Amino acid sequence: MNDFAGVSIVAAVEVPYTRHAPAGTSTAGLLAQALKAALSQAELSTNEVDGLGVASFTLLPDHAIDFAWRAGLRVGWCMDDCHGGASGINLLQHAARAIQAGDASVIVLVSGDHFEAADFTSLVENYNVTTRTHLRPLNTGGPNPLFAMLTQRQMRASQLTREDYAALCMAQREWASMNPLAVYREPLTLETYLAAPPVAEPLCRFDCVPVVSGANAIVLTSSTHRCAERLPVRIRALRASYNVDHQHGDGLVTGLAGISDALWRDANLQPADMNLVSVYDDYPSMILTQLNDLGFADDQPDLRTFIHERIASRRLPVNTSGGQLSAGQAGAAAGMHGLVEAITQLRHEAGARQVDDARFAAVSGYGMVQYRYGMCANAVVLERGASQ
Amino acid sequence: MNVFACVACAQVDFPRRLLCPLCGRDEFVEVDAAQGSVEDVTTLHHRAGKAGGDIAYIATVLTHAGPRVIVRLERLLAPGAVVSLRLESDGAIVGFSD
Over residues A28-34, mean pLDDT: 98
Q: Is A97 a residue whose pLDDT tops 90?
A: yes
**What integer pLDDT is reported at residue B92 of this predicted model?**
96
Which of A120, A199, A246 is nearest residue B45 as measured by Cβ atoms?
A199
**What integer pLDDT is reported at residue A122 of this predicted model?**
87
Please report, for chain B, the start and end positions of each structural domain, with discontinuous segments joined by +.
Answer: 2-96
Q: Percent of chain A scored above 90 by pLDDT?
A: 95
Q: Is A126 a residue whose pLDDT tops 60?
A: yes
Q: Is A364 a residue whose pLDDT tops 80?
A: yes
Q: Is A1 a residue whose pLDDT tops 60?
A: no
Cβ pair B42:A208 closer than 8 A: no
- Looking at domain A7-118+212-229, its CATH superfamily turns out to be Thiolase/Chalcone synthase (3.40.47.10)
Q: Is A349 a residue whose pLDDT tops 90?
A: yes
Chain B nearest-CA distance from A146, in A, is 8
**Cα of A119 vs its chain's centroid, Å:** 21
Cβ pair A120:B50 closer than 8 A: no
Q: Which residues of A touch B (CB under 8 A)?
A: 117-118, 120-121, 124, 130, 133-142, 144-146, 148-149, 152-153, 197-203, 205, 208, 211, 246, 248, 371-372
Q: What's the rounded Cα separation, in Å, for the pair B38 and B45?
A: 19
Q: Is A19 a residue whose pLDDT tops 60?
A: yes
Over residues A145-165, mean pLDDT: 98
Mean pLDDT of chain A: 96
- The ipTM is 0.96
Q: Which residues of chain B have pLDDT under 70?
A: 49-53
Chain A nearest-CA distance from B1, in A, is 12
Over residues A33-37, mean pLDDT: 98
Q: Which residue of A has its CA nearest to B45?
A: A199
The fold of B2-96 is OB fold (Dihydrolipoamide Acetyltransferase, E2P) (2.40.50)
Q: Percent of chain A scored above 70 by pLDDT?
A: 99
Chain B nearest-CA distance from A201, in A, is 5
**What integer pLDDT is reported at residue A324 of this predicted model?**
97
Please report, for chain A, the start and end positions of each structural domain, with discontinuous segments joined by +.
Answer: 7-118+212-229, 142-210+233-384
CA dihedral B24, B30, B31, B33 (to 10 degrees): 110
**What integer pLDDT is reported at residue B52 of this predicted model?**
62
Same fold, A7-118+212-229 and A142-210+233-384: yes
Q: What's the rounded Cα separation, in Å, for the pair B54 and B56?
A: 6
Q: Which residue has the higher pLDDT, A379 or B47?
A: A379
Nearest to A328 by CA among A173, A164, A149, A119: A173
Helix (H, G, I), strand (E, B) or coil at A112: strand
Which amino acid is present at A140?
T
Alpha-helical regions (H) of chain A: 27-42, 64-70, 87-101, 117-125, 129-130, 144-158, 162-176, 190-195, 256-267, 284-293, 303-305, 323-327, 334-346
Q: Which residues of B touch A157 (CB under 8 A)?
A: none
**Which of the four pLDDT bands, split at 50, 70 and 90, describes residue A89?**
very high
| DSSP-derived pairing of the beta strands A198-200 and A203-204 | antiparallel
Instruction: Average the pLDDT over each of A50-64, A223-237, B8-22, B39-53 and give the range with the smallest value.
Output: B39-53
**Which of the four pLDDT bands, split at 50, 70 and 90, describes residue A119?**
confident
Rounded to 5 degrees, φ, ψ at A148 are -65, -45
**What integer pLDDT is reported at residue A117 of this predicted model?**
76
**What integer pLDDT is reported at residue A103 of this predicted model?**
97
**What integer pLDDT is reported at residue B50 of this predicted model?**
67
Over residues A7-27, mean pLDDT: 96
**What integer pLDDT is reported at residue A114 of this predicted model?**
96
Which of B40, B41, B92 is nearest residue A137 as measured by Cβ atoms?
B92
**What integer pLDDT is reported at residue A55 of this predicted model?**
98
**Which residues have a Cβ under 8 Å from the Cβ of A129 and sit 6 or more positions away?**
none
Instruction: Average the pLDDT over each of A75-89, A283-297, B47-61 and give the range with the smallest value.
Output: B47-61
**Which of the four pLDDT bands, split at 50, 70 and 90, describes residue A203?**
very high
Which of B44, B60, B91 is nearest residue A140 as measured by Cβ atoms?
B44
- pLDDT tens across A239-258, in order? 999 999 999 999 999 999 99
Chain B nearest-CA distance from A327, in A, is 17
CATH for the A142-210+233-384 domain, from 3.40.47.10, 3.30.1550.10, 1.10.760.10, 3.40.50.2300:
3.40.47.10
Q: What's the rounded Cα separation, in Å, for the pair A187 and A309?
A: 20
Q: Is A102 a residue whose pLDDT tops 70?
A: yes
**What integer pLDDT is reported at residue B98 of this predicted model?**
75
